[in-house]
Amino acid sequence: MLILAIDTSTAATSVAVLGATAGPILRTQIDGRRHAEVVAPLLREALREADVDPADIGLVACGVGPGPFTGLRVGIATAIAFGFARDVPVVGVCSLDVTARAAVRDLGTSVTVLSRARKSEVCWASYDDRAMRIAGPIIRREPVNITGACVGDAGPVDEVRYPSALDLAELVVERMALGEALPDDFALPEDTSTEAGQSSATVLVDRVRAARILLPPRPIYLRRPDAVVPASLTGGAA
């Protein structure tokens, strides 16, 4: 099956095609302010180099964060739009899990992934030497429960890493090969905290305990959005 994967949860915009005769194709550009401008060109380049017609894509995968609000939504919205247009399923994966998979494979040790958030905060999660999440994800000003090597884009880290769309696609293939089904389209609970939201994190922890990693294509924020819906649109006073 041909898989198109997209991640925009960090400063990197990453697009990959897995399963093509031409081999796995990965296109990445690092620019934290231009996700919307670069994701479509990277997608076209990846499909062209893979010699794949968009109609041949059988599954779309996207990194769902946690990450900054605007950039994160770009990749998820692109994935959902592509899946809707081609009538194929779209699946999400925690982007920290994607970074951890590659880091554990390359370093051969347990890792803690630190991902940059706004407001001088960091998203973090710790993983064992099988790349299974054992703590987090949490958003805080200071990471806690550091395990093994520190990787990611929020320093200090032992190695700077961004989630790769190719690792994302491979992780989805691995989970499906282990018998994990695509998830139902459930909504993550709203995180009401202004700093370290727990509601979404609790859902993700429960899924890992049930040996499930795959998620619906819904953004993981781990905190309350800064933007609020105007009262005029919610029935409140103008």
Q: DSSP per residue over 125-137, as a string? A: EEE-TTS-EEEEE
Read off the tokens for 69. 């609000």
pLDDT tens digits, 74-119: 999 999 999 999 999 999 999 999 999 999 999 999 999 999 887 7
> How many C-beta atoms surround the C-beta of residue 14 within 10 A?
29
Q: How far is residue 142's CA from residue 67's CA, in Å, rounded to a whole number?
A: 16
Question: What confidence score (pLDDT) does residue 119 get?
Answer: 74
Inter-helix orientation angle 95-107/165-177, to 10°: 90
The CATH number of domain 3-96+162-209 is 3.30.420.40: yes
Express each pLDDT in 167-208 by its tens digit: 999 999 999 999 999 998 887 777 776 655 677 888 888 999
